[in-house]
Chain A
Amino acid sequence: MNEAGRVHALLDAGAEPPGGPVLPPVAELLARARTGRRRRRVGLVSLVAIGCALIIAVPFVVIRNGGRPLEEPAVYPSVRSATAAELARGRWDVLPQSPVPGRIGAAAVWTGDEMVVWGGASGTYPGTLRADGVAYEPGTRTWRMLPPSPLGARSGTASVWTGHAMFVWGGYDSLYPLVVSTSALGGIFAPGHATNSGALYDPDRRTWQVLPRSPLLGGLVSARALWTGREVVVVGGRPPGRGNSVDVVAAAYNPTSHSWRMLPPLPPLGLRVSLLDAVGAGDRIYLWLGHLGAGVDMLEYDSRGNVWDSVSGGRDSKVSRGLGGPLWTGDELIVPAAVAYRPTVMGHYESNLYGERLVPGTGDWRAMAHGPLDDRSPLSIWTGGALLSLAQGGGAAVWDPAADTWTRLPDAPVNIDEAVLFGSTIWTGRQVLLWGPQGPPVAFGA
């Protein structure tokens, strides 16, 4: 170990404060923050500001909606994808209210006919963990409850559609300290009560089947489930011990044999992993592993060869940039715009961010044009022919991969902030469905 390594080790050893585990006082801090905010709001200045805001907002709303009620949903073309040009003519649709509350951190899949949502947490912070589920069928604009699940209430599960069933595994069975979503911070690891149980839901038979116990003892944090065509690969971090870094491990569930197997260990990275994201690309899986202060490593898992490999680039290449929820288009990997995963300093907020695209095997990362929402930590959805970008505040834009150009779309007619950050988002082939704990469910489509 060189001298820098010894200093690292010394500080790591000296950073553990005495007196037991450090638990984040989330509720207390929020209460103090709210109190401070209330105090600042009191007074004439606030009243004047509110008055001004009302004066500005009223005509703005009238202009934006043109004084008309929201339009009825369009008749969607019978295609399984939507191009940027089609989406540029798209519109928002407020969907019927569901029979159960909206939630965050839920398992959500598209079956080909329905959006199936299970678990998560509803209500305002800290919320209530849910063990119920519901399905929405856009064709009939109807909701139906799922039969009772054999799983207990939980949030932050790993879920994926296998072609026949919704796979649901893991998650957290406690809201304390606070783990409601594994995606909110791009896969950041957080303490919690990770579970090691799961089930399959068959929407045709409306039945649940309990999964055998996985070899991932103790559960995983920031778990992701990805379908390779034959198996569900579950990857995540073993619950952290010290700090927020973890060992990343993976296992695969085979629906045919109804059994699990461990995947080979990941190649040694030499750095602590503090952030994870993943995307399935046919029979391969790509992992992005963030090291706080030292960029991002990228790995590829070939499910046919059962081997891991490093993706060219390394920590000094463009792979080192941020993680914006990677996507697979069928030909390319897209890493939407995100703040680079390295420390920045106060007063210097990164802007003019842009996404990147890679044809696997070429090592040739190409920058995407800067999008109108790229600096607002948007949610990105691949529609089969375009990239749909949704941001807090209701903004929407679409990216055309052929022309590398962005088109601004109409703003959402309702508050979609929580749905964008933590809610359930599904591309149906014709429209994107958004359902969160605030406001009604909505759809946007061509």
Chain B
Amino acid sequence: MAGSAAERAFAEFVAARYARLVRTGYLLTGDRGHAEDLVQQALLKTFRSWHRLEAEANAEAYTRTTMLRMALGWRRRRWNGEVPTGALPEAASADHSSTVDTAEVVRRALAGLPPGQRAVLVLRYFEDLSEAEIAETLGCSPGTVKSRCSRALAALRAAGLLVEDSHKSR
């Protein structure tokens, strides 16, 4: 089956979407190595289910969902270096125009969030999923999604990353 239509379609999918998926993985894990590992393992699972997925939109959603579930599972099993807190660490300053790079500020801010809140934030504001889609992806209720999102945004506000006078959210 070398060079089959499925392999070629999968290869094109990987070529087109890999970088984007790694960025999502990086937001979820805060580490490039973990992110690439996560994406590659998820893609291998996607390949095994390729015949059922048919369309690129399904394949991407499948890969992303697999990444999410693996990331949350990994976090529970072996990522012990980060301790979620209710408040973000002081280092996550809003003064990211001077000494601290914006990307590093964001990474630290995300690292300070509990994994569930982090996942909701990334899916809502980086992947542009609706609350219902996030609920289905994470296997929780839309109410849980809403409350996690609200708490994550509150944490970002408290850390000075968002301007206080606006409370509009998508």
- A29 in the interface, Cβ–Cβ < 8 Å? yes
| A107 contacts B by Cβ under 8 Å | no
Q: With A and B bound together, what is the CA distance between A188 and B15 in angstroms?
A: 10
Q: A177, B163: Cβ atoms under 8 Å?
A: no
Q: Hey, which chain A residues are within 8 Å of B156, CB to CB?
A: 7, 10
Partner of A24, one of B3, B14, B55: B14
Q: Which of B19, B27, B110 contacts A244 (CB 8 A)?
A: B19
Chain A neighbourhood of B55, CB < 8 A: 322, 338-339, 350, 377
Residue of A nearest to B8 (CB): A125
A178 interface residue per 8 A CB criterion: yes
Q: Say yes or no: B110 contacts A349, CB within 8 Å.
A: no
A375 CA / B162 CA spacing, docked (Å): 44
Provide the residues of chain B in CB contact with A339, threshold 8 Å.
54-58
Given contacts A14-B110, A421-B9, contact A346 B62 (CB under 8 A): yes
Given contacts A29-B44, A181-B12, A188-B56, contact A125 B18 (CB under 8 A): no
Cβ of A350 and Cβ of B58 under 8 Å apart?
A: yes
Chain A residues positioned under 8 Å from B48 (CB to CB):
33, 36-37
- CA A418 – CA B18 in complex, angstroms? 23
Complex contacts, B129 vs chain A, CB 8 Å: 293, 343
B20–A244 contact, CB under 8 A? yes
Chain A nearest Cβ from B55, distance in angstroms:
4
Question: Are A14 and B27 in contact, CB atoms less than 8 angstroms apart?
Answer: yes
Distance between Cα atoms of A33 and B13 in the complex (Å): 14
Q: How far is the CB of A51 from chain B (nearest CB, A)?
A: 19
A353 to B54 alpha-carbon distance, docked (Å): 12
Contacts A190-B16, A343-B61; A293 near B5 (Cβ below 8 A): no
Q: Interface stretch among A15-23, A86-94, A198-206?
A: A15-23
Whether B7 and A125, one on each chain, are in contact in the complex, defined by CB atoms closer than 8 angstroms, is yes
Choose among A16, A123, A348, A375 the residue that contacts B136 (Cβ–Cβ < 8 A): A348
Q: Is A404 an interface residue (CB 8 A)?
A: no
Stretch in B72-80, B82-90, B118-126, B140-148 with 4+ CB within 8 Å of A: B118-126
From residue A119, how far is it (CB to closest CB) to chain B in Å? Answer: 17
**Contact B161 A2, beta carbon cutoff 8 Å:** no
Instruction: Please give the distance in Å from B103's CB to the nearest CB on chain A.
Output: 5
A16 to B105, CA, bound (A): 12
On chain A, the residues within 8 Å of B163 by CB distance are 3, 6
Is A66 close to B, CB under 8 A?
Answer: no
Q: Is the CB of B18 within 8 A of A184?
A: no
Return the CB mask of A235-261 against B: 1 if under 8 Å, else 0.
000000001100000000000000000
- A292 interface residue per 8 A CB criterion: yes
- List which B32-58 residues lie within 8 A (CB) of chain A: 32, 35-36, 40, 43-44, 47-48, 52-58
Contacts A7-B121, A13-B103, A16-B103; A177 near B10 (Cβ below 8 A): no
Complex: chain A residue closest to B110, CB-CB: A14
Tell me, yes or no, whether A319 is within 8 Å of chain B by CB: no
Q: How far is the CA of A181 from the CA of B35 in the complex (A)?
A: 28
Roughly how many angstroms separate A332 CA and B46 CA in the complex, as a whole number?
A: 37
Q: Bound complex: CA of A19 vs CA of B34, how far in Å?
A: 13
- Whether A24 lies near B18 (C-beta < 8 A) is yes
The smallest beta-carbon distance between B33 and chain A, in angstroms, is 9
Contact of A178 among B1, B15, B35, B153 (CB under 8 A): B15
- In Å, the complex CA distance between A127 and B3 comes to 9
Residue of A nearest to B59 (CB): A185
0/1 interface trace, chain A 124-138, chain B, CB 8 Å (1 if under): 111100000000000
14 pairs, A vs B, C-beta closer than 8 Å: A7-B169, A11-B126, A14-B106, A14-B109, A14-B110, A17-B22, A26-B11, A29-B14, A29-B43, A33-B10, A125-B2, A180-B8, A188-B56, A340-B57
Residue positions of A touching B, CB distance < 8 A:
2-4, 6-8, 10-19, 21-26, 29-30, 32-34, 36-37, 104, 123-127, 177-181, 184-186, 188-191, 243-244, 292-294, 322, 338-346, 348-350, 375-377, 392, 417-418, 420-422, 437-438
Given contacts A2-B168, A185-B13, 9 further A-B pairs with CB under 8 A are: A3-B162, A10-B106, A11-B27, A11-B126, A17-B26, A32-B44, A178-B15, A346-B137, A350-B55
Q: Could you tell me which B residues sit within 8 Å of A by CB distance?
A: 1-5, 7-20, 22-24, 26-27, 32, 35-36, 40, 43-44, 47-48, 52-58, 60-62, 64-66, 102-103, 105-107, 109-110, 121-122, 125-129, 133, 136-137, 153, 156, 161-163, 166-170
